[in-house]
Amino acid sequence: MKNKLYYGDNLVILGQLEDNSIDLVYLDPPFNSNKNYNLLFTNETGRVSDAQRHAFDDTWEWGLESEKTWVNIVETYDPNIVNLLAALRQHLGSSSVMAYLVMMTPRLKELHRVLKPTGSIFLHCDPTSSHYLKLLMDCIFSPSNFRNEIIWCYRQGGRGSKHFARKHDTIFFYSKSNNWTFEVNSIRIPYHGTGGYQTSGRGIRSKNGRTYHPHPEGKIPEDWWDIPAIPPMSKERIGYPTQKPLELLERIIQACSMDGQVVLDPFSGCGTAIVASEKLNRRWIGIDITHLAITLVRTRLEQYFGPRLHEFDILGAPVDLEGAISLANQDRYQFQWWALGLIGARPFEEKRKGPDGGVDGYIYFNYELRSSHIGKIIVQVKSGKVSVTTIRELASVRRSQKAEIGILLTLEPPTSNMLKEAACEGMFTCLLDGNRYPIIQIITIEQAINGQSVLYPKIYV
Ligand SMILES: C[S@@+](CC[C@H](N)C(=O)[O-])C[C@H]1O[C@@H](n2cnc3c(N)ncnc32)[C@H](O)[C@@H]1O
C-alpha cells in the first residue's frame, strides 16, 4: 500500500476504508481553539459544507446538518449510543457542544470499524469537551478498552488572571480489544526527576527494605507528559495554528505501532502525525478538508525528508485542467492553496488574503554552504486574466522581497510578450551548484499538473 493523503470530509473518506485495516488512529479534531480562522469553503456543488465551514471554527452550531445526523443516529445506531446521546441532549439541548458530539459520533464509529482488533486510538481534546467525549468513547470502544487518559502539559501561551493557567490537553487512549500493541521498550525515558532515586547497580531501596532494580533503558512514562508546545521561533513551527509537537506524536506512534504498520490521522492539519509516521517508518493515511492543510503536509514532507520520502498519493484533489478550473470557480483561495502544492510551495498565510504584498506562497532553498543564508522564491498564483503587467508586478515584488526567483503559476497560458518580459529579467547563478536559473519563471497549471517543476537549486546540505 502506498501512503495516502486525502482531501475531503473524513466521514466520506473513512467510508471508503476497509474494516480492520488500520493499526493506530490519532485524531485531533478542531474544538474550542478559541479561534475562528474565517475560512469559507465550498464543495463540488458550490455549496458551503457544514463540516468545512466548521473546520477551523470553534463555534459549532446546531444546524440542519446536526439535525440530519441526529435523526440518522436515532434511527440506525446501537441503542447504547442512542440512549447516551439522548440523555446528553436532554441536558445540553441543541447547543454547540451537542452539535460537536453529534458530528463526532459517526466519525468515532467509523474509526472503530476501520481499526484492526489489535489497534489503538488516541483522541486528542481539551477540558471543554473531554468529559463528554470520554462517555462517547466508552460507549463505542467499551470501558474495558480504556487504557489511559494522558495529560499533555505545556507552559507556552497566555494566562488568564481569574483562574489557574489552563496548560494541558487531554488525550484518550483506547484499544479495540484486550490484545493491543504496546512497545514499551521504545518509549522508555530516564529515571531522573522522579524523587531522587539512585540508579546504581545496587538498585533502589524502598522504606520496607525491598530492593528494586531500575530498567537499564529507563522508566515507562507516566500518563502525564511534560512535552513543550512548539515555541514561536522554533524551526519545527510551520505556522499552522493548531500544530502539535512532533515529540508528542512520536511517543504515541512508537508506543502503539510497529515498523511498517498503518497510522491514520483523519484530521491531519499540517500533518504532524504523518511526519512522525514517515520518520518512524510507519505507513500512513492522512485526511483533511482544506487544500491549505493538504498543501502544507505535502511541502512539509518534501522539505523534511527530501529524496528519502516514500512515495505517496494525493487523492480527492483536482487531477486535470478541468478539475482545476472548477475549483478556481468555486473558491479561489482553495484553488490557490491546491496550486501551490503542485510545485512544492508553502502557502504564505493560513488565513485569507492579508497584506502580503502580492505573495501567495514561498519556497526556500540552500544555495550556499553557510546554513544562515537561505535562498527565497516567491510565488504568485493567478486564476484569472494575466498580461505583461502581471510579470512586471511580479518582478517588482520579487525585488522588494529580496527573493532570488519569482514564479507566476497561472491557469491562463502566458502570451509571447509575457514570456519575453520574463526572459528580460535574466538569470541567477547558484554559488553551490554553479548552475544558472531564470529569475522569473512562468508555469501554467496544466504544466504543473503534468509534473513541470520550478527550476532552482535542489541541494540538501
Ligand atoms: C486541530 S487541527 C489538527 C492539527 C494537527 N494535529 C497538526 O498537528 O497539525 C484539525 C484539522 O481538522 C481538519 N478538519 C476539520 N473537520 C474535518 C473533516 N470533517 N474532515 C477532515 N478534516 C477536517 C481541519 O481542516 C484542521 O486542519
| Per-residue pLDDT tens digits for 264-303 | 999 999 999 999 999 999 999 999 999 989 999 999 999 8
For position 357, what pLDDT does the model report?
Answer: 63
Residue 458 resides in a domain: no
Residues 165 and 288 in one domain: yes
What strand order describes the sheet that includes 22-27? 224-226, 146-153, 168-175, 115-125, 22-27, 262-265, 283-288, 3-7, 312-315
Range of the domain at 360: 328-449
Domain boundary among 315, 343, 360: 315
Residues 18 and 94 in one domain: yes
Which position has the higher pLDDT, 60 or 316? 316
Residues 147 and 282 in one domain: yes
Domain boundary among 315, 336, 356: 315
Residues 272 and 345 in one domain: no
Q: Which range has the worst mean pLDDT, 109-118, 199-208, 369-378? A: 199-208
Residues 130 and 229 in one domain: yes
For position 200, what pLDDT does the model report?
Answer: 52
Residue 188 resides in a domain: no
For position 417, what pLDDT does the model report?
Answer: 97
For the stretch 382-435, pLDDT in tens is: 999 999 999 999 999 999 999 999 999 999 999 999 999 999 999 998 877 888
Query: Stretch 6-22: mean pLDDT, rounded?
Result: 97
For the stretch 133-142, pLDDT in tens is: 999 999 999 9
How many Å lie between the centroid of ligand 1 and the Cα of residue 290? 8
Write the residue with the smallest CA distance to atom 5 of ligand 1.
269
Q: How confident is the model at residue 55 (pLDDT cuts 50, 70, 90)?
A: very low
Residues 373 and 238 in one domain: no
Write the residue with the smallest CA distance to atom 24 of ligand 1.
55
Residues 278 and 153 in one domain: yes
Residue 232 resides in a domain: yes
pLDDT at 241 over 90: no
pLDDT at 30 over 80: yes
Residues 404 and 441 in one domain: yes
Which candidate, 257, 324, 318, places its Cα nearest to that of 285? 257
Contact assessment for residue 238 and residue 275, using Cβ atoms and an 8 Å cutoff: no
Residues 285 and 414 in one domain: no
Residue 193 resides in a domain: no
Residue 421 resides in a domain: yes
248 lines ligand 1 (CB under 6 A): no
295 lines ligand 1 (CB under 6 A): no
Residues 360 and 266 in one domain: no
Residues 39 and 132 in one domain: yes
Residue 444 resides in a domain: yes
Q: How confident is the model at residue 240 (pLDDT cuts 50, 70, 90)?
A: confident
The count of domains in the chain is 2
Domain boundary among 284, 315, 346: 315
Task: Report how far residue 272's alpha carbon sits from residue 313's, in angstroms, rounded to the nearest whole number.
Answer: 18
Residue 187 resides in a domain: no
Contact assessment for residue 145 and residue 177, using Cβ atoms and an 8 Å cutoff: yes
Residues 310 and 360 in one domain: no
CATH of the domain at 405: 3.40.1350.10
276 lines ligand 1 (CB under 6 A): no
For position 461, what pLDDT does the model report?
Answer: 52
Task: Report how far residue 444's alpha carbon sits from residue 431's, in angstroms, rounded to the nearest whole number.
Answer: 28
Q: pTM here?
A: 0.86
